Amino acid sequence: MGVVNLARVDERLIHGQVMMTLSKRNGVDSIFVVDDVVAKDKFMKDLYKSAGSRTGQKTIVMTLDKCKYYWDEFEFKNYSAIVIAKTVGHFYELVKHGVPIKELNIGGIAQKDQEKDLLVTKSVYLNKEDALKLKEMNEQYGVENIYFQATPSAPSTSLKDVLAKFDL
């Protein structure tokens, strides 16, 4: 059975030194990019696969539904993967589906709605709906370590501190 070594929300998906550093984590042998738009666009899919291969890891690009299927049918084979998606919602769907994720890093989310999105760290805007999803993942679905950190060398902010900004 495979394992999710690290799950990461980052709108840029695979990029630069962040992925080079994260891909060197103990035991990581693959990167799963979970994004419906990228997975359905051959050019973009090839681009991300190429970017991931520069880390030395096998890179698989798939839709959210394909990721669920890949877990159901193969339990991610024997991969020790970094799973990357652009949204909190994708990870919420994965953990509700039964994909075991213990560590979730929120690395970069841009502001989408000035009325609803709150700047919670230098690189993350979050709305209350996503904050509630993170809380639920932590309390009900076994995601033990949820933290906000743009790069591995940057300071991290705890889920508790972010939830306090929403009075949750």
List the CATH number of the domain containing 49. Answer: 3.40.35.10
| pLDDT attached to residue 66 | 98
Q: Which domain holds residue 59?
A: 3-165
Which DSSP category does 109 fall into? B
| pLDDT attached to residue 16 | 79
Q: What is d(CA 3, CA 39) in angstroms, rounded to the nearest whole number?
A: 21
Model confidence at 91: pLDDT above 90: yes
| pLDDT attached to residue 21 | 87
Which H or E run includes 65?
helix 64-74
Per-residue tokens: 65: 């539904």
| pLDDT attached to residue 17 | 72
Which H or E run includes 40?
none
Residue of 77, 76, 72 whose CA lies nearest to 98: 72
Q: How many domains does the chain have?
A: 1
Q: What is d(CA 121, CA 33) in angstroms, rounded to the nearest whole number?
A: 24
